[in-house]
Amino acid sequence: MTGPPIVFSFDFISPYAYLAWTQIHALAARHGRAVTPRPILFAALLNAHGTKGPAEIAPKRVYVFKDALRRAARYGVPFAPPPSHPFNPLLALRAVHASGMHRGLIDALFAATWGEAEHRGVEHPDVVAACADAVGLDGVALVERAGAADVKDAVRAATDAALAEGVFGVPTMTVGDEPFWGTDSLPLLEQHLRGEDPVTPALLERVRAIRASASRR
């Protein structure tokens, strides 16, 4: 591997995180990069930035599901909404931390949320345990471990670290100190990895110097 890894910040609640996860490994391999998964709590990002999630805005909620379905068809990956949305993803996030970022478990949990016709979701301990069992882990033990204080702290710490880096949504793919947000940014991430990023330091400084002349109340 050459160069820093691609840090993949995600929450199972996001269909776009699922879609990006199905693509990021091949993209990384094309450029000799490793992928470092970072499970974080999307709701905490929303609270910190004072914003709403797509599912909390009625017209956007419907649009997002249609958009995700269309993108899944383009990628050639299965797509089926979970039994409820928004849902509480904490158990699944904690289970990944407890597993040591086991890629197979992440695959299985994403599939149970967004890629299976059974619409199992990942809110319930028995589903998380079954996903763990399916990839060779001890599901019951992992679910129990996911409730430990240090594992809960690990999710909070990962979320805090993402916030400190300026992450505001999921998925966010970070290379060094450069973030790329959402599935739309995957081609831009690849452009960046090829050394063809049109964003120059001078342009970035100019953008940062722009001040607002109007505000919304």
Query: Hey, CA dihedral for 212, 43, 163, 6, is it positive or negative?
Result: negative
Single out the residue of 66, 9, 71 nearest to residue 41, CA to CA: 9
Q: In angstroms, how far is CA 187 from the centroid of its own chain?
A: 17
- Please tell me the predicted confidence (pLDDT) of residue 1: 63
Catalytic residue among 9, 14, 84, 213: 14
Q: In 50-148, which ranges are continuous DSSP H helix? A: 58-75, 90-98, 103-110, 125-134, 139-146
- Please tell me the predicted confidence (pLDDT) of residue 201: 85
Domain 6-209 has CATH 3.40.30.10: yes
14 is an active site residue: yes
Sequence-distant (≥ 6) Cβ neighbours of residue 31 within 8 angstroms: 3, 190, 193, 194
Q: Other C-beta atoms within 10 Å of 189: how many?
A: 24
Could you give the CA distance from residue 149 to residue 8 in angstroms, rounded to a whole number? 24
- Please tell me the predicted confidence (pLDDT) of residue 2: 79
User: Domain map of the chain by residue range?
Assistant: 6-209
pLDDT one-digit tens code per residue, 116-162: 888 899 999 999 999 999 999 999 999 999 999 999 999 999 999 99
| pLDDT beneath 50: ranges in the chain | none
